[in-house]
């Protein structure tokens, strides 16, 4: 069964460093998302991506964040200058059709630890 | 406003018992989805129920949706130790992204 994959599973970085989190969505899906979950808290939406552009983003997704689909398979989240409060699990998700009307399939997550 | 608030926050039951978790939301929705998360792991999609559906089954899972009360319930029958996890509801409204609740932590004791 196809699934969303994410790498790395755990990333440790120093405050101020740039990190890139990688995701491979399910191959025939058209919509891609990033969510994050701070330990013990809700899963929060960051950004959605369709047709090679951001379709929606939350207040969390500020200028420090960017997303890219560099080729036909990868979907990346970049944090330019990490802060301590960026420590969280980051989940990538994809869906075959329009968000809100279809199931989103989540990857296993990347645990980001900012020291 | 908050969407998808689950209760109880934590639930502990014996293996074989049924577990019921509830979710309430505030605005109109297209669908409501339930996810499971094992500790420190990813989100596993369990079931999606659309706003025009009242009940849905999948194996030992039964989900109901009452749009007049803006609430949903997830019932796990004949629970197993492997069902121990956090369970989240997530609502989908129009073109807004999924909004998750804080989840219910279920512990099934063997």
**A-side interface with B, Cβ within 8 Å?**
33, 35, 41-45, 48, 56, 58, 89, 91, 93, 98-101, 103-109, 111
How far apart, in whole angstroms, are the C-alpha atoms of residue A24 and residue A75? 6
| A104, A107, A110, A112: best to mutate for the B interface, most B CBs within 10 A | A104
Confidence band, pLDDT 50/70/90 cuts, at residue A100: low
Chain A with chain B: Cβ pairs closer than 8 A: 62
The model's pLDDT over B24-82, given as tens digits with 9 standing for 90+, comes to 999 889 899 999 998 878 889 999 999 999 999 999 999 999 999 999 999 999 999 99
Please indicate whether, in this complex, the C-beta atoms of B48 and A109 are within 8 angstroms of each other: no
Range A102-105 contact pairs with CB under 8 angstroms and sequence separation of 24 or more: A102/A31, A103/B33, A103/B45, A103/B48, A104/A31, A104/A33, A104/B33, A104/B45, A104/B98, A105/A3, A105/A4, A105/A26, A105/A29, A105/B45
Which pLDDT score is estimated for B98? 86
Confidence band, pLDDT 50/70/90 cuts, at residue A40: confident
| B10, B25, B41, B43: best to mutate for the A interface, most A CBs within 10 A | B43
Residues of A in contact with B40 (CB under 8 A): 89, 111
């Amino acid at each position: 069964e196809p699934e969303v994959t994410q790498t790395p599973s755990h990333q440790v970085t120093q405050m101020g460093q740039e990190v890139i989190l990688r995701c491979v969505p399910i191959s025939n899906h058209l919509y891609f998302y990033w969510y994050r979950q701070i330990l013990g808290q809700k899963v929060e939406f960051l950004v959605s991506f369709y047709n090679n552009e951001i379709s929606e983003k939350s207040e969390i997704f500020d200028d420090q964040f960017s997303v890219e689909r560099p080729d036909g398979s990868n979907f990346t989240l970049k944090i330019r200058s990490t802060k301590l409060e960026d420590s969280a699990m980051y989940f990538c998700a994809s869906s075959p059709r329009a968000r809100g009307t279809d199931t989103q399939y989540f990857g296993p997550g990347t645990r980001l630890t900012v020291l | 406003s908050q969407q998808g608030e689950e209760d109880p926050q934590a639930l502990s039951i014996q293996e074989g018992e049924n577990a019921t978790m509830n979710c309430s939301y505030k605005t109109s929705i297209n669908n409501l989805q339930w996810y499971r998360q094992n500790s420190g792991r990813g989100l596993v999609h369990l079931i999606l129920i659309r706003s025009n559906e009242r009940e849905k089954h999948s194996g030992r899972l039964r989900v109901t949706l009452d749009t007049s009360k803006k609430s949903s319930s997830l019932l796990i029958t004949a629970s197993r130790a492997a069902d121990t996890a956090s369970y989240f509801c997530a609502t989908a409204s129009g073109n807004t992204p999924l909004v998750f609740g804080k989840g219910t932590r279920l512990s099934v004791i063997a």
